[in-house]
Amino acid sequence: MRSLRGYRKRRGGILMAQINMVQSLNKSIDLLMANDERVVVMGEDVGKDGGVFRVTDNLLSKYGEERVIDTPLNELGIVGMATGMAMYGMKPIAEVQFQDYIFPAFDQIVNNAAKIRYRTGGRFNVPLIIRTPYGGGVKGGLYHSQSGESYFVHTAGLIVVTPSNPYDARGLLVAAYKKNDPVIFLEPKRLYRASRAEVPDELFEVEIGKASRLREGDDVSIITYGSMVPVVMSTVERNGVNAEVLDLRTLLPMDIEAIIGTAKKTGRVVIVHEAPKTLGVGAEISALLAEKAIDSLLAPVMRVTGYDTPFPYTHEDLYIPNEKRIMGAIHRVLAY
Amino acid sequence: MAALGNLSNDQIVTAYRNAVRARTLDLKIINAQRQGIIGFHVPAEGQEMIQIAIGMLAEKDDLIFSYYRDLALYLQRGVPISLIFDQMLANGNDFQKGRQMPDHFSFKEFNFSTVQSPVGSHLPLSVGAAYSFRYNKKKGIVIVTFGDGATSTSDFHAALNLASVFNLSVLFVCENNGWAISVPTNRQTKADIYKKGAAYGIPGKRVDGNDLIASLAGLQEAFDYVRSGKGPYLVEAVTYRIGPHSTSDDPKKYRVDEITDGSENDPIKRLENLMLKMGVVDLNFIQSAKAQAKEEIDRTMEERMSIPAPDPSTIFDDVYEEPSWIQEEERRDIDGSD
């Protein structure tokens, strides 16, 4: 059956659309807003402009300015206000335009949003989603490229997720909406329009805390997430590596069973992420493996990550892990 | 009775009793802190009257974001001393399960929000709450209190701006007690605090926070303005922190040149003098009010001290709605045996 736009088709009675991550997120928010009046969108340029990446495009005309709120330019204000709204009966989806700009709101996130349930003995809670694009690859220099997930993964009380494809983007956002706790929703901006996928035209969930095994393999496990997922997939496929690939999808809490399971299966683990190496998510995975799967490891756990430098402009391609560096680590663990 | 405006004798007597209860409680807690019974305290001594005035004008539906130095405000709003002690002692009856330092209350049942330590960071929350009130057509306004130090925080400016841009019903009340720990207000700001709203299009007013009648009169105008839906309002209540910043602070180190100890402006003394002069009460009443407060507070602390601490394993609850495997694993290993 043809739909109005021509690219939709029905599968099992549900309209399927071939859409990119931006379109998927846009539709997700649209569906959530249509479904639940408590949901509002707020942030810089989210209204008329539809967000600088267009994730909130056309929502203002549909839902009005009480629900699609163009805010003043102040991240701590956006997050603090959204936290107050969430405490008192609303479900805000706040956008921080670039994750690089989230730091003024860090106190609100870490000391208010993440701690309000705990400090009030569970009598208040903060069902808040903070969406923010992160990562490099768009020639954004120091301040439109950072991968700051570790700052948030270090904070009990937060949930941290990051999709790597349009399908998971929908499912994780819906799952985040169902949580009654603050969720840092990290969107790998390089993947916003990188690919299309079939996404059912409905609200479905991708369970928070569950990794996705994208590929089965026996020789080595590659644990990755976000923008590195397509890089890892093409690397192992082009080089014929018999690798198991895990897309974490949730960074807090991580899927410990999947991590330990794949390590026990292959005995060799390479972790790939774009964020700097020191105290990155890879460090945590590596420590978990040392604590819980040391007997199964046949080689040192290797990390292929962004460098411990600020994110450079001219040489951003050097900073982001690539096929060559990933294969280097794979060769080392296979040869160990 | 002209000087006392429209207040009934009952209202004045209740206000006075609550101020005395707050003062007595303050001194009792400081003592208990010195004896190691209570871990810490932020005394409100000297600031009782502005807090009482806010409590008198706030309606049940009004939501209050208080700060950590608002003891008299809780009492005026009806919070029982027993609940204050439960939090201060962090016992098993504490609503917050013993997780917060003393004075970081969350009396949701009395329409208070939750108190945090980082100064000023509740101001943006109060703006969000006001947004939600309007969005959900709930009755009531939002009142937020804070000290003079908070006016230097980014949160203060963000909150004023947001409240104004969205025309929200937030009454900002700065309890300017002259000191932010060791830094006097004139080192905090070169401007008048009540004028700081002007940059955001918010009207402001300075009131004598040590005088019940003046506080009520000034606040009434602000309450009316905010209640009418005209937007936010900023009140600066000038008062004085008679005691230290906290039980961990020694003002002798920095208050050496201070010309006042606050006693000539003590808000409780002032109300006493006024009541006596107007014949609302006599000296016997004053004495018995103080004795009654002392008796109530001594008895209540004794009684609440017998309540055991919360169960240790509860420290892993309420991190999330459902604990993740991480909290469960750590809970199992609480004694290092797992």
Do strands B204-208 and A14-19 pair parallel, antiparallel, or not at all (unpaired)? unpaired
Q: Quick: pLDDT tens for B211-233.
A: 999 999 999 999 999 999 999 99
Q: How many CB atoms lie within 10 A of CB A317?
A: 11
- CATH class belonging to B2-307: alpha beta
Place of tokens 């009806």: B78
Q: What is the overall mean pLDDT for chain A?
A: 95
Q: How far is A211 from chain B (nearest CA, A)?
A: 14
pLDDT tens across B170-212, in order? Answer: 999 999 999 999 999 999 999 999 999 999 999 999 999 999 9
- Are A8-200 and A212-335 in the same CATH fold? yes
Residues of A in contact with B96 (CB under 8 A): 119-121, 123
Tell me what the mean pLDDT of segment A195-202 comes to. 94
Domain A212-335: give its CATH architecture. Answer: 3-Layer(aba) Sandwich (3.40)
Would the ipTM clear 0.95, i.e. be above it?
yes
Residues of B (87-116) whose Cβ lies below 8 Å from A: 94-97, 99-100, 104, 106, 108, 113-114, 116
Half-sphere exposure of B163 (CA within 13 A, CB side): 37
The strand ranges marked E within B85-185 are 142-147, 170-176, 179-180, 183-184
Query: Domain residues of chain B, as ranges?
Result: 2-307, 314-338
A-B C-beta contacts closer than 8 Å: 147
Homologous superfamily of domain range A8-200: Thiamin diphosphate (ThDP)-binding fold, Pyr/PP domains (3.40.50.970)
Q: Residue B96 CB: number of other CB atoms within 10 A?
A: 22
Q: A104 by DSSP, 3-state: which?
A: helix
Structure confidence by residue, pLDDT tens digits, B50-60: 999 999 999 99
CA distance A328 to B11: 79
Q: pTM of the full predicted structure?
A: 0.96
- Please name the residue of chain A whose CA is at the shortest distance from the CA of residue B106: A120
CB B266 within 8 A of CB B242: yes
DSSP B280-303: SS-HHHHHHHHHHHHHHHHHHHHH
Measured between beta carbons, the chain A residues lying within 8 angstroms of B166 are 69
Q: CB–CB of B300/B85 below 8 Å? A: yes
Residue keyed to tokens 């402001």: B204
CB A261 within 8 A of CB A295: no
- pLDDT tens for each residue of B106-138: 999 999 999 999 999 999 999 999 999 999 999
Please name the residue of chain A whose CA is at the shortest distance from the CA of residue B317. A118
Among A77, A209, A252, beta carbon nearest to B161? A77
Distance (Å) from the alpha carbon of A179 to chain B's nearest alpha carbon: 8
With CA atoms as reference, report the closest residue to B51 among B24, B31, B69: B69
pLDDT at A5 over 80: no
Query: Residue A224 is which amino acid?
Result: T
CA dihedral B33, B34, B36, B41 (to 10 degrees): 20
| Helix or strand (DSSP H, E) at A334 | helix A323-335
Asked if B43 and B30 count as a contact pair (C-beta separation under 8 A), the reply is: yes
Active site (catalytic) residues of A: 144
Using pLDDT thresholds of 50, 70 and 90, give the confidence band for residue B25. very high
Search chain B and give the residue with CA nearest A178.
B321
Q: Residues 135-194, chain B: which have Cβ within 8 Å of A?
A: 135-136, 154-155, 158-159, 161-162, 165-166
Contacts of A179 in chain B (CB under 8 A): 321
